């Protein structure tokens, strides 16, 4: 019944659990806000206790109905479910900071939200079609990032040693520039560095953007095939 998405009770159960996951994520986020009043903190830890309680009941239920218990315990979602509730029982004696980090594991549960979607298999097939190209572009993008970092390091290091300290620091510049994020915390000021940036961008924009286009066209192709298969 628990996973029977077609029955009414199964549906309700799934929706309740997923709402609780979202609720638990919201309280997790609120908890990070500085200057919370003690009352708010109390309400948050109350919601925390209730959601973890329900998640524990759900885990025990799933364990009870599972045909092969060990199989469920060591399945991906079995481990995720356990990791999502375990920190609460273990970490309650430790300091706050540590608990917070453990809580992060509960985020894995959100993966369940995307479990039952027909479009995922199509996406996987599209990735399969474009696999080789994606690998090639990934590799070339990596090489380009490194070469850009080395290049800009030689151009800018002498003039801005505080920003372009090393090739590693320049790598950060390369990442923010080639993805066109451009925070503005690091940018070339020498003529050479700027001309270098121009050429790197001309080549790099394509290398970063083409894979997106490839995935999109592979997805359309897969959808096309499915539509034709349904018609015949």
| Residue located via tokens 């790099």 | 204
The answer to the question of residue 223 lying near its own copies (CB under 8 A) is yes
Alpha helices in the chain (DSSP H): 8-31, 38-65, 69-73, 76-91, 96-103, 119-129, 131-156, 167-178, 191-231
Residue 218 tokens, joined: 């592979």
The residues in 55-114 that bind its own copies, with binding defined as CB under 8 A, are 101, 104, 107, 110, 113-114
User: Among 8, 185, 230, 232, which residue interacts with its own copies (rule: CB under 8 A)?
Assistant: 185
User: Among 69, 94, 217, 225, which residue interacts with its own copies (rule: CB under 8 A)?
Assistant: 217
Which range binds its own copies by CB under 8 A, 4-12, 48-56, 72-80, 157-165? 157-165
The answer to the question of residue 117 lying near its own copies (CB under 8 A) is yes
The answer to the question of residue 143 lying near its own copies (CB under 8 A) is yes
CA 30 vs CA 43, 54, 109: distances in Å: 11, 20, 19
In the complex with its own copies, the residue whose CB is nearer, 67 or 185, is: 185
Which range binds its own copies by CB under 8 A, 37-45, 57-65, 71-79, 150-158? 150-158
For residue 170, count CB atoms less than 10 angstroms from its CB and return exposed for 0-12, middle for 13-18, buried for 19 or more: buried
């Amino acid at each position: 019944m628990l996973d029977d998405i077609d029955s009414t009770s199964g549906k309700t159960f799934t929706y309740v659990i997923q709402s609780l996951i979202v609720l638990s994520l919201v309280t997790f986020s609120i908890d990070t806000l500085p200057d919370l009043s003690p009352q708010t903190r109390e309400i948050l830890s109350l919601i925390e206790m209730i959601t973890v309680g329900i998640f524990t009941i759900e885990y025990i239920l799933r364990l009870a109905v599972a045909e092969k218990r060990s199989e469920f315990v060591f399945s991906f979602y079995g481990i995720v479910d356990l990791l999502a509730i375990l920190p609460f029982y273990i970490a309650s004696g430790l300091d706050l900071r540590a608990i917070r980090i453990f809580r992060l594991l509960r985020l894995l549960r959100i993966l369940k939200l995307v479990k039952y979607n027909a479009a995922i298999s199509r996406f996987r097939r599209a990735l399969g079609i474009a696999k080789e190209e994606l690998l090639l572009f990934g590799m070339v993008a990596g090489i380009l990032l490194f070469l850009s970092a080395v290049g800009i390091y030689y151009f800018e290091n002498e003039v801005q040693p505080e920003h372009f300290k090393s090739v590693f620091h320049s790598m950060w510049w390369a990442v923010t520039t080639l993805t066109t994020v451009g925070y503005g915390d690091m940018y070339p000021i020498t003529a050479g560095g700027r001309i270098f940036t121009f050429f790197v961008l001309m080549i790099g924009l394509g290398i970063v953007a083409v894979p997106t286009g490839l995935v999109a066209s592979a997805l359309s192709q897969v959808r096309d095939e499915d539509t034709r298969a349904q018609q015949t």
